[in-house]
């Protein structure tokens, strides 16, 4: 079976939906950010702080390449993975890509209080979310099938994705 790829902005539910999809479809979930943390022995926030975003993006590309070559996986990417076309090309080769979407206020509520979001460690996180979304939206829109997550549980979103996958078989 081909891979199922979940992308989208932070706080849209990629990890939670990925867990539900893994359970529903009996497929292994690979969380790219978790793989990076395990490989470096550091939290993402620490990698950003100590080495910078470009270094993190290089690590992200390496992990995506490694898992995109495999089959029968659910791959949950980081929110910025779409910014590199090489990432998306690798993921498209073996996967069906879904982009999860949520309103800025929903994202803020879901990420509030988390110190693990280095891009949101600013004075006005809502404004930062809106700015980042405005910049990234063209990348998200061409990434794959858009799925809104506002007002839905991770299970509801996973069931919606599973339904789309079954229709494509």
- Could you read off the pLDDT of 44-77 as tens digits, one per residue? 889 989 999 999 999 999 999 999 999 999 999 9
Q: Does the pLDDT at position 168 exceed 70?
A: no
Provide the 10 A C-beta neighbour count for residue 84: 16
| Structure-block tokens of residue 97 | 């890509």
DSSP symbols for 49-61:
HHH-HHHHHHHHH
CATH number of 3-168: 3.40.50.300
Q: What is the pLDDT of residues 6-59, one digit of tens each?
A: 999 989 999 999 999 999 999 999 999 999 999 999 998 899 899 999 999 999
pTM to 2 decimal places = 0.91
> So where are the chain's domains?
3-168
Specify whether the CB–CB gap between 99 and 7 falls below 8 A: yes
């Amino acid at each position: 079976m081909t891979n199922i790829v979940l992308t989208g902005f932070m706080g849209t539910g990629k990890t939670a939906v990925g867990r539900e999809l893994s359970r529903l479809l009996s497929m292994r979930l690979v969380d790219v950010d978790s793989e990076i943390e395990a490989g470096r022995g550091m939290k993402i926030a620490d990698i950003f702080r100590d080495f910078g975003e470009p270094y993190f993006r290089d690590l992200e590309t390496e992990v995506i390449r490694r898992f995109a070559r495999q089959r029968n996986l659910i791959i949950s990417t980081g929110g910025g993975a779409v910014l590199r076309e090489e990432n998306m090309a690798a993921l498209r080769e073996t996967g069906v890509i879904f982009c999860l979407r949520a309103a800025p206020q929903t994202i803020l509520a879901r990420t509030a209080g988390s110190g693990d979001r280095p891009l949101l460690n600013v004075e006005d996180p809502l404004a930062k979310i809106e700015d980042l979304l405005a910049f990234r939206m063209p990348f998200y829109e061409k990434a794959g099938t858009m799925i809104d997550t506002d007002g839905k549980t991770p299970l509801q979103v996973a069931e919606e994705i599973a339904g789309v996958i079954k229709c494509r078989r």
